[in-house]
Homo-oligomer: A and B are copies of this chain.
C-alpha cells in the first residue's frame, strides 16, 4: 500500500513543473484553436503571439513545431504559421481514417471483451449527455458530446495509439466545423444513430454496431462534403 501511495505521489509530481514553456505555449494555442478562438486560415505572427504570451520567438517556434504535427497548424516556409484550413480531400481522408479507427476499435474491443463495464459506460454517458443537451437546445454541447461519443468508441480498443489518433482526428474535425457557417445543424441528426450504435455495442452485437457506424459515416461525410 505504501509503495502504491508513493508511486502516485511520484506520478503527481511528474505532471507538475515538468512542462517546458514551449509545451505550455502549445497547450494554450491548442486550446485556442480547438475552441474556435483562432479560426482556420488565421496567420500566427511570431512577433505578436510571442509578445502576447510573453515568450521569446525561439520558444514560440518550438511550440509551433509541436502543433504542426498535430495537424492543427500548418507551417509555410518563409511565410509563417497558419491555423489549418481543411479542404474536401481532407474530409474524405478523415472519414476514411475514422472508418478504419472506429470500426476497428469496436472489433478490437469485442475481441478483448471490453464492450462492457467502464469502457461501455463512457460510451453511454456520451450518448446521454448529447440527448440531454439536445433537449436543452444546447447545440454546442451536443457537438461536444458527439465528439466524446466517438472518442469513447475509439477507447474500446484499449490502445494509447488509437486514443491519440482519435484525439487528433476529432481535433481536425473541430477545425472543419469552425470553418462552417452553421455547424450546429451537423450534429443533431445523428443522436439517434449514436443511441442505436451504443445499443448494438451494449448488446455485444459488434458487427451490427460496425454496420450502423459505417452507415453513419456515409451520411455524415456526405453532409459535410455538401457543406464545404
B69 near A100: Cβ-Cβ < 8 Å: no
Which of A19, A70, A103 counts the most B-chain CB atoms under 10 A from its CB? A103
- Bound CA span A159–B96, Å: 7
Q: Which residues of B contact A62 (CB under 8 A)?
A: 61-62, 65
For residue A158, CB closer than 8 A to chain B, the reply is: yes
> A65 touches which one: B22, B94, B96, B160 (CB < 8 A)?
B22
Q: Which residues of B contact A70 (CB under 8 A)?
A: 69
Q: Which residues of B contact A100 (CB under 8 A)?
A: 100-101, 104-105, 107-108, 157, 159, 162
Q: Which residues in chain A, 76-113, are within 8 Å of chain B measured between CB atoms?
A: 77, 93-94, 96-97, 99-101, 103-105, 107-108
For residue A2, CB closer than 8 A to chain B, the reply is: no
Q: Which residues of B contact A103 (CB under 8 A)?
A: 104, 107
Number of copies: 2
For residue A66, CB closer than 8 A to chain B, the reply is: yes
B77 near A162: Cβ-Cβ < 8 Å: no
| CB closest residue in chain B, given A76 | B18
For residue A42, CB closer than 8 A to chain B, the reply is: no
- Bound CA span A22–B81, Å: 15
For residue A35, CB closer than 8 A to chain B, the reply is: no
Q: Which residues in chain A, 29-74, are within 8 Å of chain B measured between CB atoms?
A: 58, 61-62, 65-66, 69-70
For residue A13, CB closer than 8 A to chain B, the reply is: no
Q: Which residues of B contact A99 (CB under 8 A)?
A: 104, 108
CB distance from A182 to the nearest CB of B (A): 27
Q: Which residues of B contact A162 (CB under 8 A)?
A: 96-97, 100
CB distance from A94 to the nearest CB of B (A): 7
For residue A165, CB closer than 8 A to chain B, the reply is: yes
- Bound CA span A132–B61, Å: 47
- Bound CA span A162–B22, Å: 29
Known A-B contacts A104-B103, A105-B100; A160 and B93 likewise in contact (beta carbons under 8 Å): yes
